[in-house]
């Protein structure tokens, strides 16, 4: 077996183990019909994802970072992103919110095993906004609260 094949095999084994651990943990009942915030008053880990992690996803993180029921982070799918989404980000997240369908496709192409039993929602927010633009803040406010099943 070549070194590359061995590395790929190890990576797949680790990804399967991580996915299995996430299924066991299932912090928000993601394997059933997404019932809302974490069990027993736990905070919900929400990952916002856009392309470059420059405007939309950092705005989502900022809007939700002080909410008492939410831990928020942001990342980007592009190799040039400020923070490129990683397996660790996806393992941390209870819910992943992407701005466009292309972000969902990219995440599934690169990290499908980690997302297998995790809510992944497309917000349909185009790349037309700057960081903390008032309209963007509004789009990331009540609609996200409704998705997460929590009050703002």
- Tens place of pLDDT per residue across the chain (152 aa): 566 555 545 555 565 555 555 555 555 444 444 444 454 468 999 999 999 999 999 999 999 999 999 999 999 999 999 999 999 999 999 999 999 999 999 999 999 999 999 999 999 999 999 999 999 999 999 999 999 999 98
The count of other CB atoms within 10 Å of the CB of residue 39 is 11
How far is residue 15 from each of residues 9, 95, 140, measured CA to CA in Å?
10, 18, 30
Stated length of the chain: 152
Q: HSE (CB half, 13 Å, CA atoms) of 66?
A: 3
Q: Please, what are the domains in the chain?
A: 3-148 (3.40.50.2300)
Ramachandran angles phi, psi of 121, nearest 5°? -115, 140
């Amino acid at each position: 077996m070549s070194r590359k094949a061995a590395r790929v095999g190890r990576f797949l084994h680790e990804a399967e183990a991580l996915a299995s651990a996430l299924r066991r943990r299932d912090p928000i009942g993601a394997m059933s019909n997404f019932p809302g915030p974490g069990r027993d008053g736990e905070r919900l880990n929400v990952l916002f994802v856009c392309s470059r992690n420059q405007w939309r996803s950092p705005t989502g993180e900022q809007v939700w970072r002080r909410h008492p029921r939410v831990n928020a982070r942001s990342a980007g799918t592009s190799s040039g992103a400020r923070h490129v989404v990683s397996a660790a980000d996806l393992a941390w997240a209870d819910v992943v919110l992407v701005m466009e369908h292309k972000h969902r496709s990219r995440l599934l192409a690169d990290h499908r095993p980690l997302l297998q039993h995790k809510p992944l929602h497309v917000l349909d927010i185009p790349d037309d906004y700057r960081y903390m633009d008032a309209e963007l803040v509004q789009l990331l406010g009540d609609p996200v609260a409704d998705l997460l099943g929590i009050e703002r």
